[in-house]
């Protein structure tokens, strides 16, 4: 095998890599190579691949064989391109050493600037540029960044020294009054000389050796530091919250330095090619004069808006506007750009797909289709489940403006829209702990840092005293669609006392505040939040989604209210109506069911059931009405009976009195019901085998309701579902009885009503014997909650104690995601695939769906599409998410079928994971072909419109 290439160079208009190589070169690296290729002004450099990072950790943090030589070779080339040499005391080459993973993790990993400066070369830089202050400023930044990121010295140590110089010397020299801030730019040459001495002393004290004066040693140390930052806690946490798995590591970009800190005609900026909040097609960004690197993002000084740059330096601004247009056309997506201006000359330092708010995600996707930049299919792929969640985020109820005015506290910069209310906490750890206890919190900080991601994620909203719209807090919160207000400079935060003040008003930890991210307004107290109307772009995009998808989306709903809500969100029926929830609805009902349970002869049981009948009938009428014209799957009683009886003495005494039996008898009956392992006990259809009269009552209620509603002109499509079946004979008994009861009622009512009887597949045995079961069942619904716990042998209610370790990549890392949230496609998925295939082998038109939690998880929904299900069912508010995932499944499938060559790689492997075993002997097939084998052998009932392209005239070649 030829040796792997570890390093890729770019510069002077030529690049060894390109924009498609994100996986290998990281997002930042791929962007730098691509921008170089298309002729943008990018400083030269080279990229060390993500594979090297992987090897680095696999070998106990050692450089792989040959890397050192390769880096040296590319460094030589960089020196040739730039005409400067690393460490040259007369005119040194300086570089930045930058992290950059395949997916953007803003601020999570490290970057070191101005590398190559030493005591000797800093004077060379000073002489060459004729700006000694600038050279010293660069050196102090380098010592601090190298000392903290590569060597692990607390950054605060350096900050303290800097503050000391400012306080003791700069303030006095310039006569700055005590209530005014001393800026970094106020510090002069002598003071910087002094500061560098202090920095080097700090370094020596901690590391026990002098600050390295050999640039090669610096470079190696910095590369190691970037690799190590991949596994830093904050980066690992970020990947966990973002559910980023299977990424090799970070690349390292070594890039020639350009300088935004050379004075008034220099500066550094961050911008987006469209407004990342509203999605509007306007140029958007921040610029900081005479600054370097992180100064903008860290919110050290408040930046100016991009429009002001137009006034300061119209030439640079115009160039930037051209680049904006060029890059959007090139990448066909909104870009997030970083640039630096060195004495009036523009350099591009980064471009990546920009993070955006949920509203912006819809608007940009739809606008770009209209502009002819992308196809509808691409637009669909660009929306994430979290964007849909974000669209429905609450807003402040503005119906009572006087109250709003009274509650108003202060206004900051509106960084991420939406509204949030919660109790004030002042650090990320508290945010996580309080949230874990079920509290809603607002994280209030002077500024946020990447260490805070866990707490930021746990909070309802984020409020910071510093920063602009492109600061760390804003960028991270935007990615999550989380309400965020930054740059609220009037906040006077005292972490120690746990308070913040705005003028006279003092807010304590634990007090409620409310944020309006749309206006930047902060309010005292807990204001009422309301659901917004989804924007037009949402409706447009979802109409494309519904056109393309073939998988139906139903909902799990137990009440007419939920049913109606789900229908508004696009549900096409009910996939699971849990009848037992109705029993808890009122005192009267729960009493009747309890009476039924403690009864010890058939007659009294029937008497109690008769009391429940009118309630259930009425409930079903409401549900059928809400679902007029759509199928409704109703599951017969499922949980073990002991879940319905009181377990405390007081409750048992009350029950005894209400029903008119002795307390002892109630106690005795409750004891009888006790089970050692209720999960595997007397539940599901086993109850109906023992007590068929329960089934009689429920079927009577369903069919009576159906007949009543039909008479009223409502179209009713009932599907009666028998849960937890393990055998066809068992199912046959219950199916026969169901039909006897139902048919008698229908005959008596004199109307025509068709209904279905089917079963849940949720015990492995049922999946294994699916061909026998399908001779009786007219439909299958995979109950993947139970099927997962029984297949894995893990109790869902107890797994919380240890399952997180199985998902944690630093611990066991057995599962990529919690199998109770995202379907275990390998194990449980195999049973599902087999169940469908066997079922349809005897009943080709068998209708198949899923009704576990997984019906609302995008990855699982896509799986359901691939294995040929007819529908998924999810909780009402996840219905739009499932619709989107179902459409994405079609687009992904068509895309992988179109690229036969590419199927030798990853997509084909993914597809074979869902294909039944026997197809693997047929060799590798495109994903869709494999799916067709698995479904078509059995599935004439499988949806037929698979993969029909949308509006193909917009398709990109």
Which residues form the catalytic set?
472, 851
DSSP reduced 3-state for 822? coil
Helix boundaries (H) for 573-691 = 587-598, 602-626, 649-659, 663-673, 685-690
Figure out which of the listed residues 341, 349, 456, 790 binds ligand ADP, where binding follows CB under 6 A.
Answer: 349
Residues facing 423 on adjacent strands: 441, 512
762 is in an annotated binding site: yes
CA pair distance 336, 489, nearest whole angstrom:
26
| Residue 255's binding partner out of Mg ion, ligand ADP, none, with CB under 5 to 8 Å set by partner kind | ligand ADP
CA distances from residue 873 to 570, 850, 870 in whole angstroms, order as listed: 12, 6, 10
- How would DSSP label each residue in 122-175? HHHHHHHHT-HHHHHHHHHHHHHHIIIIIT---HHHHHHHHHHHIIIIIHHHHT
Q: Are 267 and 290 in contact (CB under 8 A)?
A: yes
What radius of gyration, in Å, describes the C-alpha atoms of the chain?
A: 32
Helix (H/G/I), strand (E/B), else coil: 720: strand
* Residue-by-residue DSSP string for 748-759: HHTS----EEEE
Residue pair 476/501 in contact (Cβ under 8 Å)? The answer is: no
Tell how strand 85-86 and strand 92-93 pair up: parallel
Residue with smaller CB distance to ligand ADP, 258 or 641: 258
Q: Examine residue 887 and tell whether it contacts ligand ADP (CB under 6 A).
A: no
Distance of CA 559 to the CA centre of its chain: 30
Smallest separation (angstroms) from ligand ADP to the CB of 96: 3
Q: Which does 340 bind (CB under 5 to 8 A by kind): ligand ADP, Mg ion, none?
A: ligand ADP
**Does 255 contact ligand ADP by CB under 6 A?**
yes
Does position 478 bind ligand ADP by CB under 6 A? no
Among the residue ranges 228-236, 253-261, 430-438, 910-918, the one whose residues contact ligand ADP (CB under 6 A): 253-261
Q: Which residues of 3-141 form beta strands (DSSP E)?
A: 7-11, 14-15, 45-48, 85-86, 92-93, 95-100, 111-115
Binding partner selected for residue 43 from ligand ADP, Mg ion, none, CB under the kind-specific 5 to 8 Å limit: ligand ADP
Q: Which does 113 bind (CB under 5 to 8 A by kind): ligand ADP, Mg ion, none?
A: ligand ADP
Picked from ligand ADP, Mg ion, none, the partner binding residue 111 (CB below 5 to 8 A depending on kind) is ligand ADP
Q: Minimum distance between the CB of residue 767 and ligand ADP, rounded to whole angstroms? A: 47
Contact present, 17 and 25 (Cβ < 8 Å): yes
The answer to whether the beta carbons of residues 467 and 473 sit under 8 Å apart is: yes
Comparing C-alpha atoms, which of 517, 182, 569 is closest to residue 392? 569
Q: Which DSSP category does 938 fall into?
A: T
| 403 burial via Cβ count (<10 Å: 0-12, 13-18, 19+) | middle
Work out how close the CB of 107 gets to Mg ion at its nearest, in angstroms, rounded to a whole number: 8
Footprint (CB under 6 A) of ligand ADP, residues 90-129:
96, 98-99, 107, 111, 113
User: Nearer to ligand ADP by C-beta: 262 or 847?
Assistant: 262
Both tokens of residue 206?
Answer: 């901690």
786 marked as binding residue: yes
Minimum gap (Å) between residue 270 Cβ and Mg ion: 8
Q: Would you state the structure tokens that stand for residue 43, as one six-digit string?
A: 């400083």
Site of tokens 């650090």:
427
Structure-token match 């090799």, residue found: 248
- Site mask for Mg ion (CB under 5 A), range 760-779, x = bound: --x-----------------
Binds Mg ion (CB under 5 A): choice among 295, 430, 735, 786? 786
Select from Mg ion, ligand ADP, none the partner in contact with residue 258, using the beta carbon and a kind-dependent cut-off of 5 to 8 Å. Answer: ligand ADP
> If DSSP codes are grouped into helix, strand and coil, which group holds residue 525?
coil
SS3 per-residue string spanning 334-390: CEEEEEEEECCEEEEEEEEECCCCHHHHHHHHHHHHHCCCCCHHHHHHHCCHHHHHH
- Partner in contact with 453, chosen from ligand ADP, Mg ion, none, beta carbon below 5 to 8 Å by kind: none
Residue number, 335 or 340, with CB nearest to ligand ADP? 340
Q: Show the beta-strand stretches assigned E in 94-176.
A: 95-100, 111-115
Residues in the chain: 957
Query: Which part of the chain contacts ligand ADP (CB under 6 A), choosing from 255-263, 462-470, 766-774, 857-865?
Result: 255-263
Nearest CB to ligand ADP, comparing residues 257 and 688: 257
- The site that binds Mg ion (CB under 5 A) totals a number of residues, namely 5
First to last CA, the chain: 35
Q: In whole angstroms, how close is the CB of 100 to ligand ADP at the nearest point? A: 6
Binding part of the chain for Mg ion, among 279-287, 347-355, 572-580, 737-745 by CB under 5 A, reads 347-355
193's enclosing H/E stretch is helix 189-207
C-beta closer to ligand ADP: residue 349 or 881: 349
When the beta carbons of 390 and 783 are compared against Mg ion, the nearer one is 783
CB of residue 350 to Mg ion, shortest distance in Å:
5
Residue 253, CA distances (Å) to 9, 110, 473, 497 in order: 10, 11, 24, 43
Minimal distance, residue 350 CB to ligand ADP, in Å: 5
Could you give the CA distance from residue 439 to residue 431 in angstroms, rounded to a whole number?
A: 9
CB of 359 to Mg ion, least distance (A): 25
Q: Please give the full DSSP string across 543-577, using - where no structure is assigned.
A: HHHHHH--SEEEEE-SSHHHHHHHHHTT--SEEEE
Interacting partner of 786 out of Mg ion, ligand ADP, none (Cβ under 5 to 8 A depending on kind): Mg ion
For Mg ion, which residue has the nearest CB?
Answer: 786
Residue 635 among known ligand-binding residues:
yes
Angle at 547 (CA atoms; ends 280, 371), nearest 5 degrees: 30
* Cα of 845 vs its chain's centroid, Å: 37
The site string for Mg ion over 708-747 (x = CB under 5 A, - otherwise) reads: ----------------------------------------
Residue with smaller CB distance to ligand ADP, 95 or 364: 95
350 part of the interface to Mg ion, by CB under 5 A: yes
Per-residue string for binding with ligand ADP, 256-295, x by CB under 6 A? xxx---------x------------------------xx-
Residue 93 or 419 with smaller CB distance to ligand ADP: 93
Mask 28-67, x = binds ligand ADP (CB under 6 A)?
Answer: ---------------x------------------------
784 in a known ligand binding site: yes
Partner touching 783 among Mg ion, ligand ADP, none, CB below 5 to 8 Å by kind: Mg ion
Nearer to Mg ion, 184 or 762 (CB): 762
Cα separation of 244 and 839, whole Å?
36
738: annotated binding-site residue? no
The full DSSP string for 879-899 is HHHHHHHHHHHHHHHHHHHH-
How far apart are the C-alpha atoms of 734 and 689, rounded to whole Å?
7
The closest of 377, 788, 403 to 548, measured between CA atoms, is: 377
CB of 431 to ligand ADP, least distance (A): 23
Given candidates 70, 338, 452, 619, which one binds ligand ADP under the rule CB under 6 A?
338
Instruction: Select from 147, 358, 718, 783 the one that contacts Mg ion (CB under 5 A).
Output: 783
In the complex with ligand ADP, which residue's Cβ is closer, 107 or 279?
107
**What's the min distance (Å) between Cβ of 787 and Mg ion?**
8
Best CA proximity match to 615, nearest among 579, 642, 566, 640: 579
**Stretch in the footprint of ligand ADP (CB under 6 A) among 236-244, 250-258, 315-323, 658-666:** 250-258
In the bound state with ligand ADP, the residue whose beta carbon lies nearer, of 256 and 870, is 256
Annotated binding site for substrate: 578, 635, 762, 783-786
Q: Which residues are annotated as a binding site for Mg(2+)?
A: 762, 786
Residues making contact with Mg ion (CB under 5 A)? 338, 350, 762, 783, 786
The site for ligand ADP (CB under 6 A) is made up of 43, 96, 98-99, 107, 111, 113, 255-258, 268, 293-294, 338, 340, 349-350
Binding residues: 578, 635, 762, 783-786
């Amino acid at each position: 095998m030829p040796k792997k290439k570890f390093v890729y160079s770019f510069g002077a208009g030529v690049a060894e890599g390109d924009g498609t190589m994100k996986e290998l070169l990281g997002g930042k690296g791929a962007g730098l190579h691509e921008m170089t290729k298309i002729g943008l002004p990018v400083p030269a450099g080279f990229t060390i691949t993500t594979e090297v990072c992987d090897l680095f950790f696999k070998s106990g943090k050692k450089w792989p064989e040959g890397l050192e030589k390769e880096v040296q070779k590319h460094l030589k080339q960089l020196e040739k391109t730039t005409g400067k040499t690393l460490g040259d005391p007369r005119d040194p080459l300086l570089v930045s050493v930058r992290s950059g993973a395949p997916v953007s993790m803003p601020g999570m990993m490290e970057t070191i600037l101005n590398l190559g400066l030493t005591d000797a070369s800093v004077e060379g830089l000073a002489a060459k540029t004729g700006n000694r202050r600038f050279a010293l400023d660069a050196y102090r930044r380098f010592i601090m960044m190298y000392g903290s990121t590569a060597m692990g010295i607390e950054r605060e140590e350096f900050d303290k020294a800097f503050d000391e110089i400012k306080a003791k010397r700069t303030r006095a020299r310039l006569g700055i009054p005590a209530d005014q801030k001393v800026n970094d730019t106020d510090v002069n040459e002598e003071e910087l000389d002094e500061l560098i001495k202090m920095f080097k002393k700090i370094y020596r004290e901690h590391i026990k050796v002098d600050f390295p004066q050999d640039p090669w040693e610096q470079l190696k140390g910095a590369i190691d530091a970037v690799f190590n930052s991949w596994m830093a806690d904050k980066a690992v946490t970020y990947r966990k919250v973002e559910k980023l798995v299977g990424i090799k590591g970070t690349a390292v970009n070594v890039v020639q330095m350009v300088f935004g800190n050379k004075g008034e005609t220099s500066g550094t900026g961050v911008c987006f090619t469209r407004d990342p909040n509203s999605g509007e097609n306007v140029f958007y960004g921040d610029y900081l004069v005479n600054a370097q690197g992180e100064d903008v993002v860290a919110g050290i000084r408040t930046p100016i808006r991009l429009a002001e740059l137009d006034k300061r330096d119209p030439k640079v601004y115009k160039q930037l506007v051209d680049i904006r247009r060029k890059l959007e056309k090139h990448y066909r997506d909104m870009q997030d750009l970083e640039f630096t201006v060195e004495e009036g000359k523009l350099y591009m330092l980064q471009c990546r797909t920009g993070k955006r708010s949920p509203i912006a995600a819809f608007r940009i996707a739809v606008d770009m289709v209209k502009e002819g930049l992308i196809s509808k299919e691409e637009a669909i792929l660009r929306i994430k489940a979290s964007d849909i969640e974000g669209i429905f985020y609450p807003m402040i109820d503005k119906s009572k403006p006087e109250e709003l005015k009274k509650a108003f506290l202060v206004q900051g910069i509106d960084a991420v829209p939406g509204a949030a209310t919660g109790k004030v906490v002042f650090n990320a750890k508290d945010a996580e702990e309080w949230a874990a206890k079920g509290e809603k919190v607002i994280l209030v900080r002077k500024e946020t840092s990447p260490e805070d991601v866990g707490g930021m994620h746990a909070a309802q909203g984020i409020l910071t005293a510093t920063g602009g719209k492109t600061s760390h807090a804003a960028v991270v919160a935007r990615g999550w669609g989380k309400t965020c207000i930054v740059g609220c400079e009037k906040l006077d935060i005292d972490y120690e006392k746990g308070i913040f003040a705005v003028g006279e008003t003092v807010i304590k930890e634990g007090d409620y505040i409310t944020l309006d991210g749309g206006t930047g307004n902060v309010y005292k107290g807990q204001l009422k939040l309301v659901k917004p109307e989804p924007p037009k772009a949402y409706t447009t995009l979802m109409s494309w989604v519904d056109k393309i998808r073939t998988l139906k989306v139903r909902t799990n709903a137990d009440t007419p209210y939920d049913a109606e809500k789900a229908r508004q969100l696009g549900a096409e029926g009910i996939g699971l109506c849990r009848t037992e929830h109705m029993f808890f609805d009122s005192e009267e009902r729960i009493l009747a069911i309890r009476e039924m349970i403690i009864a010890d002869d058939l007659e009294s049981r029937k008497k109690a059931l008769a009391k429940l009948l009118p309630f259930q009938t009425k409930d079903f009428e409401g549900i059928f009405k809400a679902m007029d014209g759509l199928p409704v799957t109703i599951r017969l009683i499922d949980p073990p009976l002991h879940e319905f009886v009181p377990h405390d003495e007081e409750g048992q005494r009350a029950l005894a009195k209400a029903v008119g039996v002795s307390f002892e008898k109630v106690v005795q009956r409750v004891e009888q019901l006790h089970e050692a392992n209720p999960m595997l006990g007397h539940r599901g259809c086993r109850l109906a085998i023992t007590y068929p009269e329960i089934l009689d009552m429920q079927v009577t209620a369903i069919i009576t309701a159906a007949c009543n509603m039909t008479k009223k002109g409502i179209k009713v499509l009932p599907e009666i579902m028998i849960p937890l079946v393990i055998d066809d004979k068992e199912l046959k008994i219950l199916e026969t009885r169901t039909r006897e009861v139902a048919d008698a009622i229908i005959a008596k009512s004199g109307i025509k009503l068709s209904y279905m009887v089917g079963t849940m597949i949720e015990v492995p045995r049922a999946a294994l014997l699916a061909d026998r079961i399908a001779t009786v069942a007219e439909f299958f619904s995979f109950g993947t909650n139970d099927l997962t716990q029984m297949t894995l042998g893990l109790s869902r209610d107890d797994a919380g104690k240890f399952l997180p370790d199985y998902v944690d990549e630093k611990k066991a890392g057995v599962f990529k995601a919690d199998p109770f949230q995202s379907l275990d496609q390998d194990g449980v998925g195999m049973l599902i695939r087999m169940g469908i295939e066997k079922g349809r082998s005897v009943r080709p038109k068998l209708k198949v769906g899923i009704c576990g939690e997984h019906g609302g998880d995008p990855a699982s929904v896509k799986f359901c599409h691939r294995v040929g299900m007819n529908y998924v069912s999810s909780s009402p508010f996840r219905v739009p998410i499932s619709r989107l995932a179902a459409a994405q499944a079609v687009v992904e499938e068509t895309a992988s079928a179109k690229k036969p060559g590419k199927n030798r790689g990853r997509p084909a492997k993914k597809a074979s994971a869902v294909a039944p075993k026997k197809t693997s002997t047929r060799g590798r097939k495109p994903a869709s072909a494999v799916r067709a084998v698995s479904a078509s052998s059995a599935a004439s009932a499988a949806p037929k419109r698979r993969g029909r392209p949308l509006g193909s005239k917009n398709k990109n070649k």
